[in-house]
Chain A
Amino acid sequence: MSERAANAHPALRSHFEDMNQQHATGTLGMWFFLVTEILFFAPLFFTYALFRSGSLDPSFHAGFIAASHHQNIKLGLTNTIVLIASSLTVALGVYFAQTNKRKALVVMLVLTLLCGAAFLVIKGIEYNEHFVHHLFPGQNFHWDGAPELARGAHMFYILYFCMTGLHAFHMIIGIGIFLYILRRATRNDFSSEYYVPVEVSGLYWHFVDIVWIFLFPMLYLIDPASKH
C-alpha cells in the first residue's frame, strides 16, 4: 500500500510523490502532446511553402497572391486580436488560480470562452463569404480572375480551408476543454496548490493561438498592396 501522508492534498494521485511532482509531470506530458501537434500541422505548412514558392508550377506564386486578395484582412485582423486577447485571459486565469481568486478565475474562463466563440463566429462569416463567391475548393470552385492563375488560386483555397479548418477544429476542442475547466472552477476544485488542469488547458489554448499567429500573415497578408 502507498505510504500516503494523512495530510496529503485530496487532488494528489497515488502514483505521485507530491503535488509539485504531479504538476511537473502533467505539464511535461502536455508539452509532449503539443510537440505531436506541431508535427500534425507541419505538413500543411510544408505544402503551403512548396506551392506558394512556385517551385512546382511557377504560376502558383501569382495565383496565391491573386487568391489572397479575396481575403477579408479586417476580419482576419479582428480574429487575431480576439485570439491574442483570449490568450491573455487564459494566462490571467492561471494567475488567479495560483493566487486562490476563484471568482476572478471563473470570469477569465468565461471571457476566454466568449473570445473563442467570437473567433468561430467571425470565421463562419468569412467561410460564408467564400462559399457565396464560389471559392470553396471542388467542383463548384469558380475563379473569375485571370484564367492562368485559376489553378494556383484553387490550391490556395484548398490549403486555406485545410489549415483554418484544422485550426477551427482545435478551437472547438479547446472550447469543450474550457467548459470542463469552468465547471470544475465553479466547484472550487482549483487552488494555488492544485491548478495543473488550468495550466495544461492553457498550454493547449496558447498553442492554438500560436498556430493562428502564423496563419494570419500566410493567408491574409500576401502582398495586399498589389490589390487593384
Chain B
Amino acid sequence: MSNEAYDKDDFPHHVTSLGTYFFIFAALMVLTIITVAVAYQDFGAWNVPIAFGIATLKATVVVLFFMHVIHSPKITAAILVGSIVFVGILFLLTFSDYLTRLWPMS
C-alpha cells in the first residue's frame, strides 16, 4: 500500500553531509557577528527590521538544514509556514485592537 505523505525511496534516509553542517554553522557564526556589528550602527528606524531580518535568516537556515525541512516531505514546510501565517493573523488582529483604543495611561 502506498502512502503519499512520504516517498519511500527518498525519505527518511537522506544524510546531510558533514561539510554542509559545518558550512551552516560557519554561516550562523558570521550572521551572529553581523547582528552585533549592525546593532552599533545607526540606521534610524531600520535598525529593528534589520535585526529581525538577520534573525529570521538565521532561523530559516537552521530550519532548512539543521532541522532537515529542505529534505522533508512538503507537508512539514506547509505546517510550519501555516503556523507562522496564523501567528501573523493573531498579531495583526490583536494589534488592531490594542492600537486603536484610547488608553488612559501615562
A residues at B contact (CB < 8 Å)? 17-18, 20-21, 23-24, 27-28, 31-32, 34-35, 38-39, 42, 46, 49-50, 55-57, 59, 73, 77, 80-81, 84-85, 87-88, 90-92, 94-95, 98-99, 192, 196, 199, 202-203, 206-207, 209-210, 213-214, 216-218, 221-225
The answer to whether the Cβ of B70 comes within 8 Å of any Cβ in the partner chain is: no
Shortest distance from the beta carbon of A173 to any chain B beta carbon, whole Å: 18
Please tell me if the beta carbons of B12 and A217 are within 8 angstroms of each other in the complex. no
Please tell me if the beta carbons of B94 and A46 are within 8 angstroms of each other in the complex. yes
Complex A-B: 21 CB contacts under 8 Å: A23-B12, A27-B12, A28-B79, A38-B84, A46-B90, A55-B99, A56-B98, A57-B105, A57-B106, A59-B106, A77-B32, A88-B25, A88-B66, A90-B66, A91-B21, A95-B16, A199-B68, A206-B67, A210-B63, A221-B39, A222-B39
A20 touching B6 in the complex, CB below 8 Å, given contacts A27-B76, A95-B18: yes
Q: How far is the CA of A124 from the CA of B8 in the complex (A)?
A: 46
Please tell me if the beta carbons of B29 and A217 are within 8 angstroms of each other in the complex. no
A209 touching B21 in the complex, CB below 8 Å, given contacts A24-B6, A50-B98: no
Please tell me if the beta carbons of A87 and B91 are within 8 angstroms of each other in the complex. no
Q: Which residues of B are found within 8 Å of A202, using beta-carbon distances?
A: 66-67
Please tell me if the beta carbons of A24 and B39 are within 8 angstroms of each other in the complex. no
Q: How far is the CA of A84 from the CA of B90 in the complex (A)?
A: 29
* Smallest Cβ-Cβ distance to A57: which chain B residue: B105
Q: Which residues of B are found within 8 Å of A216, using beta-carbon distances?
A: 32, 35, 55
Interface of A is mostly: helix
Which B22-59 residues have a C-beta within 8 angstroms of A? 22, 24-25, 28-29, 32, 35-36, 39-42, 47, 51-52, 54-55, 58-59
Q: How far is the CA of A81 from the CA of B33 in the complex (A)?
A: 10
Please tell me if the beta carbons of B11 and A38 are within 8 angstroms of each other in the complex. no
Q: Which residues of A are found within 8 Å of B51, using beta-carbon distances?
A: 217-218, 221
Shortest distance from the beta carbon of A219 to any chain B beta carbon, whole Å: 11
With beta carbons under 8 angstroms apart, the residue of B1, B25, B63, B105 that contacts A85 is B25
Q: Which residues of A are found within 8 Å of B95, using beta-carbon distances?
A: 46, 49-50
Please tell me if the beta carbons of B91 and A81 are within 8 angstroms of each other in the complex. no
Q: How far is the CA of A214 from the CA of B6 in the complex (A)?
A: 32
Q: How far is the CA of A55 from the CA of B99 in the complex (A)?
A: 7
Shortest distance from the beta carbon of A69 to any chain B beta carbon, whole Å: 12
